[in-house]
Structure 1
Amino acid sequence: MKLRGTSPVAEARVAHQVEGPRDAPALLLLQGQANSHDWWQHVRPLLTERFFTITFDYRGTGDTARLQAATGKEDETLWSTALFAEDAAAVLAALDVESAFVYGTSMGGRIAQELAIGRPALVRALVLACTTPGGSLATERDREVRLALSSPDRTARLRTTADLFYTAAWIAAHGGYDGVPTHLFSDPTMSRRDANRHLRVSAKHDAASRLDRIEAPTLILHGAEDRFAPVVNAEVLHERIMGSRLHVHPTGRHGFFDEFATESTGLVTDFLVPSHT
């Protein structure tokens, strides 16, 4: 089953996509900042035999942005990870899903935190990958990384992004920078305004004082070589989320879950299926 649809939420209609057996356990996939569901194109096929996978395009991305543009109006709602978590809840409701496993990566992990805190009955178990708690507990990328990402040279920015997401060996295996898939590097159809709004959504996330409210069994995944969201963030999440498990990939960078998709997705499946179904 591979279907698309829309879910009504405040001030917008959110485009969602489902794939996998409808009678399998529901798994909500939450992608990173400024990305559509295309983020999951390497990982999702590894999940659809075991799970009814659900994605949606965040406000400002993919089909959700196109639906909004068709109305001729701007979505003037104040965007936040909490609002995007409510969008996720609306998608689950539209699909008659009473609870789901939730796998969030990068900004999607921050949205997943808000969903688990604000709507605990919806979250059967939680996977947080390459993400941060926000607020006073977060460790941000260093100044060198920030400067490289703001370079006026587009080619230099793309190479920096590739290096932050993938190992040198993986880049070489794809024939160098020109052959690197870019599906994790933001939705190319996004407007600059909406991309900036996403940047603020991610930057303003703060679950630091509320992580102890997460009741769902939680697996935390991270790459040891992640300079985009340093691995110390995973250690903090592990310390603050009671009973959580932590696995750090020894060479992974920010896109470790994509580069090492078979291994990482296997960890996710092993965590979700035997213990919580």
Structure 2
Amino acid sequence: MTGSYAQAPITMVSAANGIEYAYREVGEGGVPLVLLMHFRGNLDNWDPAVVDALARSRRVIAFDNTGVGRSSGRTPSTIAQMALDAIAFTDALDLAQIDILGFSLGSFVAQEIALIRPALARRVVLASAAPQGAHGMHGWAKWVIEAVGEPEIVPARVLDVFYTRSPESRTAGEKAMRRMFTREELDTPTTWQTRQAQYDAVSTWGIPGFSLLERVTAVQAPVFVANGDSDPMILPRYSHLLAGLLPGAEIKIYPDAAHGFLFQHHEQFASDVAHFLDRQ
């Protein structure tokens, strides 16, 4: 399917686990790139600018995992189950091999997919990522979870987490939000059950444990780790730690950028991802 992500319709597919998954796709050719969304996000929270840039030379698929947005079921409270559910979605689309781009919570799920089914994950991009068991990742800073985890989402507070205080970063964030939410067909907002389950999963993932850090070393796929230099949600040091645990992993830290670095630097990020995915 070609066209722009902003105009892509929401499509449903039935999986063997009994879940009806909602997804959007754009682009054609290559190994399909499957996108895994952040905490409380749905299909609308992907910036069309970055998705369209990624889809210039490949098929790109974004979906709502179990219980998220228009997908049926209840959101599970473990990263492992989210990964199994994501695998069920790819099976429903008959995808034998995929590239994965996991963002924040989605980066945790991406790591699990690569561990659970190595043959499925050809290459993996981990944006704003941390390994399981990293000391200091047991939940987020109080002001961060208050900004993004309250029942009512306030866009200005989300901007504080996703972008820096510089005029350039904040303006980029405002533009990204306008691109995300000016489409005709909007996804269903995520529920409080999804918020609670996802934060339980994030907190459990962050329980410190040196033995847990060793798990990620079993990832066989090439990995590209990326983050903003001022991300308050997943500090850059955790991305460096993750890249150090993965033999041969590449890492890039984007300047004057926070959690939403991939939207702020969408052209450069998409170019870097394409270069990584296309490399022989």
Task: Provide TM-score, normalisation by structure 2.
Answer: 0.82
Q: Which of residues 39, 50, 56 is equivalent to 1:43?
A: 50
CA displacement at 1:32 relative to structure 2: 0.5
After superposition, where does 1:132-147 map in structure 2 within 5 Å?
Answer: 132-137=130-135, 139=137, 141-146=140-145
CA displacement at 1:179 relative to structure 2: 9.5
* 1:144-181 alpha-carbon deviations (Å, 9 max, x no partner): 544555679x68x543321110133246537x979954
After superposition, where does 1:168-179 map in structure 2 within 5 Å?
Answer: 168-170=166-168, 173=171
Classify 1:148/1:62 alpha carbon distance in 2 versus 1 (closer, same or farther; 3 Å): closer
Q: Which of residues 12, 20, 25 is equivalent to 1:5?
A: 12
CA displacement at 1:78 relative to structure 2: 4.2
Paired residue secondary structure (1:43): helix
**1:159 equivalenced with 2:164 (yes/no):** no
**1:59 equivalenced with 2:66 (yes/no):** yes
Tell me if the contact between 1:224 and 1:231 (Cα under 8 Å) persists in the aligned partners. yes
2:209 is matched with none
1:72 is matched with none
Ranges in structure 2 where 5+ consecutive residues have no aligned partner: 2-7, 182-186, 207-211
* Aligned AA (1:83): Q
Tell me if the contact between 1:20 and 1:50 (Cα under 8 Å) persists in the aligned partners. yes
* Aligned AA (1:14): Y
Classify 1:104/1:76 alpha carbon distance in 2 versus 1 (closer, same or farther; 3 Å): closer
In structure 2, how many angstroms separate the alpha carbons of the residues matched to 1:31 and 1:89? Answer: 15
* 1:198-220 alpha-carbon deviations (Å, 9 max, x no partner): 22122222653311011100010
1:105 is matched with 103
CA displacement at 1:271 relative to structure 2: 0.6
CA RMSD of aligned residues (A): 2.8
2:195 is matched with 195
2:114 is matched with 116
Classify 1:96/1:254 alpha carbon distance in 2 versus 1 (closer, same or farther; 3 Å): same
Task: Provide TM-score, normalisation by structure 1.
Answer: 0.82
Paired residue secondary structure (1:50): coil
1:71 is matched with none
1:28 is matched with 34
* Aligned AA (1:224): D
In structure 2, how many angstroms separate the alpha carbons of the residues matched to 1:215 and 1:138? Answer: 26
CA displacement at 1:98 relative to structure 2: 1.0
2:235 is matched with 230
Identity over aligned pairs, percent: 25
Tell me if the contact between 1:162 and 1:180 (Cα under 8 Å) persists in the aligned partners. no
Paired residue secondary structure (1:15): strand
Paired residue secondary structure (1:197): helix
Paired residue secondary structure (1:254): coil
In structure 2, how many angstroms separate the alpha carbons of the residues matched to 1:254 and 1:238? Answer: 18
In structure 1, how many angstroms separate the alpha carbons of the residues matched to 2:42 and 2:146? Answer: 25
* Aligned AA (1:126): V
Classify 1:267/1:209 alpha carbon distance in 2 versus 1 (closer, same or farther; 3 Å): same
1:267 is matched with 272
- Higher deviation after alignment, 208-217 or 4-13: 4-13
* 1:80-111 alpha-carbon deviations (Å, 9 max, x no partner): 22122122212222222211111111001000
Classify 1:47/1:172 alpha carbon distance in 2 versus 1 (closer, same or farther; 3 Å): closer
Tell me if the contact between 1:138 and 1:233 (Cα under 8 Å) persists in the aligned partners. no
1:205 is matched with 205
